[in-house]
Structure 1
Amino acid sequence: YRSQRPQDVEAVFGNLKNNKQFKRFHLRGLKKVEIEFGLLAIAHNLAKVAS
C-alpha cells in the first residue's frame, strides 16, 4: 500500500495540472491557498464520483 501512495498522489496533481489547466494559485496567503486547494480537491473528488 505504501509503495502505491506516491503514484496515486502524483496522478491527482498531474490531472489538476494537465486536464484542469491549474498551473499556479491565484490567491496569496496560506489560508487562502488552503481554501483554493480545498476547492480543487473537492472538484477532483466530485469528478471521480460522477464518472
Structure 2
Amino acid sequence: MSWFVRHRPKGDTSADAVGVEVNAPTPADAIDQARATLPEDRIVTSVAPY
C-alpha cells in the first residue's frame, strides 16, 4: 500500500510540511521508512493513504 508521509523541520511549526510517498504495509511502517531517509532535523506530521 502507498502512504503519503508529511514532514517539516523540528521546532518550526510555521514551516510548510513536505510530503513523500512511501510503500509499506501499515502507517507505522511508512513512518519508519520515511524517518530512515529524512535528515535528523525533520519531524513527521501526518500519514495518509495515497
TM-score, length basis structure 2: 0.35
Structure richer in strand, relative to its length: 2
Structure richer in helix, relative to its length: 1
| Structure with larger RCO (C-alpha < 8 A, sep 6+) | 2
